[in-house]
Amino acid sequence: MNRPLRPQRPPRISFVSLGCPKALVDSERIVTRLRAEGYELARDHAGADLAIVNTCGFLDSAQAESLAAVGAAMAENGKVIVTGCMGAEPEKITAVHPGVLAVSGPQQYESVVDAVHCAVPRPHDPYADLIPPQGIKLTPRHYAYLKISDGCNNRCTFCIIPKLRGDLVSRPAADVLREAERLVAAGVKELLVISQDTSAYGVDLKYAESRWKGRPVRAKFIDLARELGEFGVWVRLHYVYPYPHVDAVIELMADGKVLPYLDVPFQHASPAVLERMRRPAAQARTLERIRKWREQCPSLTLRSTFIVGFPGETEADFAALLEWLSAAELDRVGCFRYEAVAGAAANAHGHAVPEPLKEERWNRLMAHQQAISFKRLARRIGRNERVIIDEVGPAGAKGRSKGDAPQIDGAVFVTSRRPLRVGEIATVKIERADAYDLHGAVVGY
């Protein structure tokens, strides 16, 4: 009797994804392609036939973390392919880990997949080719990052991203909308729009139209935001610069089309420092703009990041930053100590701020902002807010309000009469606030 042949075990690949959400999207594309070809993902390097490390090269500390991750993969597996931002300077990797199989830069999906084919041949299994149309996601099922462009036309002097990823390249609007539609159909409840500079979306395409549902849609920030708002899910905008046309998107927020949340990386407030940083839209009168945005959309949550200890930052510059923070009353603030990344133009400025002083300023800024964040959160006590549930446990659940992005902002800890499900959106009465998080009870499902 002929016994059916047992299919061979598909090759397994372990994957480490470091860095920002943009790198995560690159990882998702690579993983999607490999799964489409029948490869499987392994939980750890030791049980895999091959390991891939998607590196981050943004800061020296990120590069050190990337090299350590490659080292761990080499030690536990031995067959390692390296890709991502740090791959733009392959010699930095091969000098430390000469045994890696291949190194490729950011967005070089084809090179990664080719290197995988060489190291572990592609399996032939027609069933494995059946993958979900939304691709493979590395985020939980209920939210997904939507990358609308890559690269950047700005030349901020502390940043080497344009060197690593090149100038701005936007995706046609219809392409983005098709991906969003697939994600929503697959159960995604929150789309997180990302890029290096979201408000510059489409500049490289001269805002060209593409056809979506039988009508033309311009590759323009406001048009795309409006269309995304039609999907009926939460739409969160990250990395928006305060160019004048951003004001129009606040209307969409006030109308409930996109989340009343703006992530604007201001980086500093002292005009002298901003000029040396060569920040886009630095001249705009930001405090005035913020006041108008809040007038137009009172529920707006503003998030930003700052750098302290930029070369030449004086005590007066730093004091101006603290004063600006007091006036702006941002809801969420992240702060980095300046790192002299190799290749960043700012290093040529000299006048480096000593490390202990950077540390001291970082602590002062964090303490200063903590009081502001607490005050902003405390205003929400007594309100009913919609909360998306990220985790459930025996004692309650952890979720996020419309003002909290995953990973970077605070959380809402909720109690509920009935068990909640991950991805569910419930109405929560806010009962208590601390410096970063809110606490409340579900009053509606």
Interacting residues with ligand SF4 (CB under 6 A): 152, 154-156, 159, 161-162, 196-197
Q: Which residue, 166 or 396, has its beta carbon nearer to ligand SF4?
A: 166
Distance, CA of 87 to CA of 108 (rounded, Å)? 10
Report the nearest approach of ligand SF4 to the CB of residue 237 (Å).
Answer: 15
In Å, how far are 61, 66, 84, 105, 261 from 161, measured between CA atoms? 15, 16, 12, 12, 25
Q: Which residue, 14 or 270, has its beta carbon nearer to ligand SF4?
A: 270
10 Å Cβ neighbour count for 222?
18
Report the nearest approach of ligand SF4 to the CB of residue 163 (Å).
Answer: 9
Q: Which residue, 174 or 341, has its beta carbon nearer to ligand SF4?
A: 341
Report the nearest approach of ligand SF4 to the CB of residue 343 (Å).
Answer: 12
Report the nearest approach of ligand SF4 to the CB of residue 268 (Å).
Answer: 12
Answer whether 442's CB lies under 8 Å from 417's CB: yes
Report the nearest approach of ligand SF4 to the CB of residue 9 (Å).
Answer: 42
Please identify which residue in the block is written with the tokens 């590196």: 55
Report the nearest approach of ligand SF4 to the CB of residue 48 (Å).
Answer: 33
Report the nearest approach of ligand SF4 to the CB of residue 366 (Å).
Answer: 21
Distance, CA of 262 to CA of 294 (rounded, Å)? 11
Q: Which residue, 154 or 347, has its beta carbon nearer to ligand SF4?
A: 154
Report the nearest approach of ligand SF4 to the CB of residue 168 (Å).
Answer: 9
Q: Which residue, 190 or 197, has its beta carbon nearer to ligand SF4?
A: 197
Q: Which residue, 322 or 345, has its beta carbon nearer to ligand SF4?
A: 345
In Å, how far are 35, 200, 256, 336 from 127, measured between CA atoms? 11, 41, 42, 47
SS (H, E, C) the chain: CCCCCCCCCCCEEEEEECCCHHHHHHHHHHHHHHHHCCCEECCCCCCCCEEEEEECCCCHHHHHHHHHHHHHHHHHCCCEEEEEHHHHCHHHHHHHCCCCCEECCCCCHHHHHHHHHHHCCCCCCHHHHCCCCCCCCCCCCCEEEEECEECCCCCCCCCCHHHHHCCCEECCHHHHHHHHHHHHHCCCCEEEEECCCHHHCCCCCCCCEEEECCEEEECCHHHHHHHHHHHCCEEEECCCCCCHHHHHHHHHHHCCCCCCEEECCCECCCHHHHHHHCCCCCCCCHHHHHHHHHHHCCCCEEEEEEEECCCCCCHHHHHHHHHHHHHHCCCEEEEEECCCCCCCHHHHHCCCCCHHHHHHHHHHHHHHHHHHHHHHHHCCCCCEEEEEEEEEECCEEEEEECCCCCCCCCCEEEECCCCCCCCCEEEEEEEEECCCCEEEEEEEC
Q: Which residue, 297 or 307, has its beta carbon nearer to ligand SF4?
A: 307
Q: Which residue, 53 or 307, has its beta carbon nearer to ligand SF4?
A: 307
Q: Which residue, 165 or 189, has its beta carbon nearer to ligand SF4?
A: 165
Q: Which residue, 278 or 294, has its beta carbon nearer to ligand SF4?
A: 278
Q: Which residue, 267 or 401, has its beta carbon nearer to ligand SF4?
A: 267
Report the nearest approach of ligand SF4 to the CB of residue 99 (Å).
Answer: 32
Report the nearest approach of ligand SF4 to the CB of residue 324 (Å).
Answer: 19
Report the nearest approach of ligand SF4 to the CB of residue 165 (Å).
Answer: 8
